[in-house]
């Protein structure tokens, strides 16, 4: 019996700018409709577990509360995990492990965040004597350490928004309506000279600005994971999960975390980066993405633009902290299976950097019905 985990459904809310479209919705209100939509799409009589990542939620077991609100049944348990802004991807990794071990057959996994309703302040990412910078100053440190220019950061930001605007109809099948919101709020036409005039947002004379950084946002994303034998039995298309990694890096430069995570994962799976046709790295900051792609030998503004966030990233769409790692897996589902990239690539890669100095990566392979 083949227990290889496979993503067979993937949905999300639109991404709303904090304080705007979803200001009257709790994190559970955002998550429950997406859980319900994925469960309805599966036509499965039993959900064995619900695993949801949240970075700064209200406390309590949000996964269980949302599963009950989604009417999955009182026998569907739930577990909430916290790996900060990697929580959504971490939840998918946990779910994949449950399926691969045979402990569960149908697991709904993802992430959710209401940044609008998050408590003020934040918990420590790391002990202060090691270094515990906020993410903005940490992005500045990455830009300086890895010589990422302001011009390249602004160019990546413009590309992210342009791609997102072009992809509005392509990504529409991902979105579950919450409060009748069906379009991502943040993407807009950027003008280069206006972007260039924006002041540094975090440090004096810095290069990281509001224009080349993500927006603080609200949203939720969920995927369904089943073993390969069940996918084949049901005749479903999916994303076979080939492997995943989590690594630690210097907490002072957390943005570089995806580099060792991706390198270790590809080496373990025996896949070369050149074979991967869709690459999604959570765009918290343009400086961070460019440092990662430079280190990996990728060029998102040139030869590799067609395979790195081709439908727009978090700089354009927004960054609902605990949900973003799951958002990029939903995006891979669109790129590999819904025709978001033509011809459809065989392999896809999702990765994110995490406050406190961590990196996560997940490698998938398209499998047709």
At residue 119, the pLDDT reads 79
Do both 31 and 95 map to the same domain?
A: yes
At residue 321, the pLDDT reads 97
Q: What angle do CA 9, 231, 2 make, to 5 degrees?
A: 130
2-14 confidence digits (pLDDT tens): 999 999 999 999 9
Residue 212 domain-assigned? Answer: no
| Cα–Cα nearest to 239, from 354, 368, 323, 365 | 365
347-368 confidence digits (pLDDT tens): 999 999 999 999 999 999 999 9
Q: What is the CATH number of the domain that holds 67?
A: 3.40.47.10
Give the mean model confidence (pLDDT) for residues 321-347. Answer: 97
Q: What is the largest CA-CA distance in the chain?
A: 59
At residue 45, the pLDDT reads 84
pTM above 0.95, yes or no: yes
Whether 251 contacts 357, CB under 8 Å: yes
Express as a percent the part of the chain with pLDDT over 90. Answer: 96
Overall domain count for the chain = 2
- Token digits for 59? 């406390």
pLDDT exceeds cutoff 90 at 171? yes
Mean model confidence pLDDT for the chain: 97
Do both 335 and 225 map to the same domain?
A: no
Do both 34 and 155 map to the same domain?
A: no
* Catalytic residue annotation: 85, 319
Do both 37 and 142 map to the same domain?
A: no
């Amino acid at each position: 019996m083949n227990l290889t985990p496979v993503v067979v459904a993937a949905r999300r809310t639109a991404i709303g700018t904090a304080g705007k479209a979803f200001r009257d919705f709790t994190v559970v209100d955002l998550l429950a409709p997406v859980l319900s939509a994925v469960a309805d799409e599966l036509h499965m009589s039993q959900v064995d577990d619900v695993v949801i990542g949240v970075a700064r939620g209200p406390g309590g077991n949000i996964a269980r509360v949302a599963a009950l609100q989604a009417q999955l049944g009182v026998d569907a348990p739930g577990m909430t995990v916290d790996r900060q802004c990697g929580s959504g991807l971490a939840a998918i990794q946990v779910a994949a492990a449950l399926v691969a071990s045979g402990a569960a057959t149908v697991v709904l996994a993802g992430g959710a965040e209401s940044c609008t309703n998050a408590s003020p302040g934040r918990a420590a990412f790391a002990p202060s004597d090691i270094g515990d910078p906020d993410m903005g100053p940490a992005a500045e440190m990455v830009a300086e350490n890895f010589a990422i220019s302001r011009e390249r950061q602004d160019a990546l930001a413009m590309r992210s928004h342009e791609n997102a605007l072009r992809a509005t109809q392509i990504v529409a099948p991902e979105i579950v309506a919450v409060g009748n919101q069906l379009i991502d709020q943040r993407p807009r036409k950027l003008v280069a000279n206006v972007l260039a005039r924006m002041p540094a947002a975090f440090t004096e004379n810095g290069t990281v600005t509001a224009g080349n950084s993500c927006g603080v946002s609200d949203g939720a994303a969920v995927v369904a994971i089943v073993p390969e034998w069940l996918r084949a039995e049901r005749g479903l298309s999916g994303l076979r999960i080939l492997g995943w990694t989590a690594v630690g890096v210097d907490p002072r430069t957390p943005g570089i975390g995806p580099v060792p995570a991706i390198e270790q994962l590809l080496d373990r799976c025996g896949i070369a980066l050149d074979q991967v046709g869709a690459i999604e790295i959570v765009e918290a900051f343009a400086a961070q993405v460019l440092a990662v792609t430079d280190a990996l030998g990728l060029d998102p503004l040139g030869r590799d633009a067609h395979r790195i966030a081709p439908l727009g990233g978090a700089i354009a769409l927004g960054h609902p902290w605990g949900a973003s790692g799951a958002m990029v897996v939903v995006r891979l589902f669109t790129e590999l299976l819904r025709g978001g990239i033509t011809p459809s690539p065989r392999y896809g890669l999702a990765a994110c950097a995490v406050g406190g100095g961590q990196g996560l990566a997940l490698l998938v392979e398209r499998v047709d019905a």
